[in-house]
Structure 1
Amino acid sequence: MKSLYLFALFTFIQMSCQAEKTVSKYPDIVGDIVFDEKLDEPGFKKCGARKDKPFSFQYYHGPKTFGYKGEKIAIIEKLKKENIFSEKKVNGYITVRFLVNCEGKTGLFRLRHMDSDLKNISLDEDLENKLLKFTQSLNGWMPKEIEGLKVDYYQYLTYKIENGKVSEVLP
């Protein structure tokens, strides 16, 4: 009986070692944005700490400064000059999330929209596209450094919309 038990254990161990590795459909890190050839610029590259498997930090890692030249006030001033608004008197939030690479270049832009009750709903497609293009035009993002190494990091801007106008830029 003891030899049967050992044989079964040995067989199980051998089979588990030979199991085929499966490729996960999920990103390596929760929150990673996966490259999409329909949405993303092909020339945009992640730098990452490792070239074989780039790793991107979230906006809350590392120094807690807002990594834009002129800080958030520079973005707000530029937004005022653009005079972006909607003819529709919509209320809610439009969030644009993106990656800033180790050179300060941006890419992998993704858009989310919510009404005032935080329900996922399109507010105004034209307004959303204008705010996406505006965010893509911002070129003052600074590379983030953690322990002496320039790294990629995710950033987001949430535009609070009241009566069709941007009333606040978050964070």
Structure 2
Amino acid sequence: MKISLSFFIVISFLAGCSKRESRNSEIYLGTYRVADRVIPYPFILKHARGSVFLFDASGASLDNSDLHSMKEGETIAFKDQQFKILDKNESNLILFDLQDTISFRIYSNGKPNPKYAAKFQKLLVEDELDLQEFGNVLRKSIWKYELLEGDNSNPNHDLDIKQSFNFKEDSVNIITNYYYQTSKMISEYETKAYQIFEIDGIYFLSLRKENDNPQPIYRLKGFNSQNIELEDYSSKVRKILSLQKDTLSVDEYRKQLQNTAAYANCYDGYQGEYYYEDVTFNKGNEFIAEYVSENLPQTESKSGYIIIHFNINCSGNLGDFGLVQMDRSFKESVFSTKLVKHIINKVSELNDFPPSASQREWLQFKDVHSFLMFKIERGKITDVSP
């Protein structure tokens, strides 16, 4: 009995030491490049026992480098990347990639410009999670999330935007529903790859698309059968994303998916503005006014402006909608649900916008934000701009 008890104590002690040793490291999550603050920088750094390890967005180890102290002025030399440490404090690490001369720009004197550095967030170990169980929970249900005002890149005052997620083995379908006064106006969906992984007791869920279209790495904070909590550092303000279990079944979701149009930005970071490139509708605004006016609901007697914001992707498709309504004095106003739904759906059907990708070396984008402002006179469309 004494031998068995002693053996148990020794094993427990060694297991505890092993766990503490494996967590005796500093983990830094790549957040964004400082200049844009909207483009994720999906890498993870681990500093442990005199070495720095570089991980990609899937959790795969890319390279390692000897470095005893992470301090300002030091250079982390990997095979394909050399990071100069511009700043380091208790919570952040600011790095400049000396070999990426496109995204990381230098001053005329050849020194790194801190504006174009990448920010890394130091993460601390919290509760231990079971990733196998998380994977089972994740794939068993449909999850929903209501976008906060700051989540939407386009101007939007009047639409409630809700997303629902169906995680499969290695990909996730994301349906985005746009609501106005509790009525669904329009929907769109896209598909991304995803990965769940762990590095030294810290857990991650990453989204992935093409290599030139970086997606965020979320920290997994916790989960149960009804809720998933993710931490998002990929923009200026840290956000907590709480995914709630939806009452929609997987079969019902798939039926909904079949009746939803596909849309995705070609580049999920910065979108250009319509005036940077010639993205004027090929058939002109008069055509738009006539097209949208067809079968216009006769439910409105008010006058004012209905502004539909949207993105035009590199294929000339429309998505990422926003809605702003004003009266004739340019103050907030509200029009009927039928009128708003008709206009949004008609705009979404316009397919003669030219595809756009930036030709400017100093401003790279593949998608363009645009808008159409409909002037309403007693319920009728009398003008469209810009």
TM-score over 0.5 for the pair? yes
2:154 counterpart letter in structure 1: I
Which residue in the other structure is 2:265 paired with? 46
* Residue 162 of structure 1, CA deviation: 0.5
1:140-164 per-residue CA deviation (whole Å, 9 max, x = no partner) reads 1211242288720011111100011
* Residue 123 of structure 1, CA deviation: 2.0
Which residue in the other structure is 1:33 paired with? 154
1:65-101 per-residue CA deviation (whole Å, 9 max, x = no partner) reads 51x2222233233234x14143331101000000010
Give the whole-Å Cα distance in 2 for the aligned partners of 1:102 and 1:71: 20
Task: Provide the secondary structure at the position in 1 that maps to 2:342.
Answer: helix
Which one of 51, 61, 75 corresponds to residue 276 of structure 2?
61
Q: Which has the higher helix share?
A: 1
User: Structure 1 residues 26 and 84 mapped into 2: Cα distance closer, same or farther (>3 Å)?
Assistant: closer
Which residue in the other structure is 1:160 paired with? 375
* Residue 16 of structure 1, CA deviation: 5.4
* Residue 114 of structure 1, CA deviation: 1.0
Q: Which has the higher strand share?
A: 2
Give the whole-Å Cα distance in 1 for the aligned partners of 2:313 and 2:287: 20
1:137 correspondence with 2:349: yes
Q: Do 2:375 and 2:382's aligned partners in 1 also have CA atoms closer than 8 Å? A: yes
Which residue in the other structure is 2:290 paired with? 77
Aligned length: 146
Which residue in the other structure is 1:127 paired with? 339
Which residue in the other structure is 1:170 paired with? 385
Which one of 319, 322, 342 corresponds to residue 110 of structure 1?
322
Q: Do 1:90 and 1:124's aligned partners in 2 also have CA atoms closer than 8 Å? A: no
Task: Provide the secondary structure at the position in 2 that maps to 1:146.
Answer: coil
Structure index of larger Rg = 2
1:41-77 per-residue CA deviation (whole Å, 9 max, x = no partner) reads 12221112xxxx53210122234x51x2222233233
User: Structure 1 residues 55 and 165 mapped into 2: Cα distance closer, same or farther (>3 Å)?
Assistant: same
Give the whole-Å Cα distance in 1 for the aligned partners of 2:272 and 2:334: 29
* Residue 36 of structure 1, CA deviation: 4.6
By relative contact order (CA 8 Å, sep 6+), the higher-ranking structure is 1
1:98 correspondence with 2:170: no
In structure 1, the gaps of 5 or more residues are: 1-12
1:91-148 per-residue CA deviation (whole Å, 9 max, x = no partner) reads 0100000001011111111111111121112122211111111111111121124228
Task: Provide the secondary structure at the position in 1 that maps to 2:188.
Answer: coil
1:3-52 per-residue CA deviation (whole Å, 9 max, x = no partner) reads xxxxxxxxxx8x95231539xx956xxx823985233512221112xxxx
Q: Do 1:91 and 1:162's aligned partners in 2 also have CA atoms closer than 8 Å? A: yes
Task: Provide the secondary structure at the position in 1 that maps to 2:298.
Answer: coil
2:336 counterpart letter in structure 1: D
- Return the TM-score normalized by structure 2: 0.34
2:89 counterpart letter in structure 1: C
Q: Which runs of 4+ in 1 moved over 4 A?
A: none
* Residue 169 of structure 1, CA deviation: 0.7
Q: Do 1:143 and 1:150's aligned partners in 2 also have CA atoms closer than 8 Å? A: no
Which residue in the other structure is 1:18 paired with? 90
Give the whole-Å Cα distance in 2 for the aligned partners of 1:161 and 1:33: 22
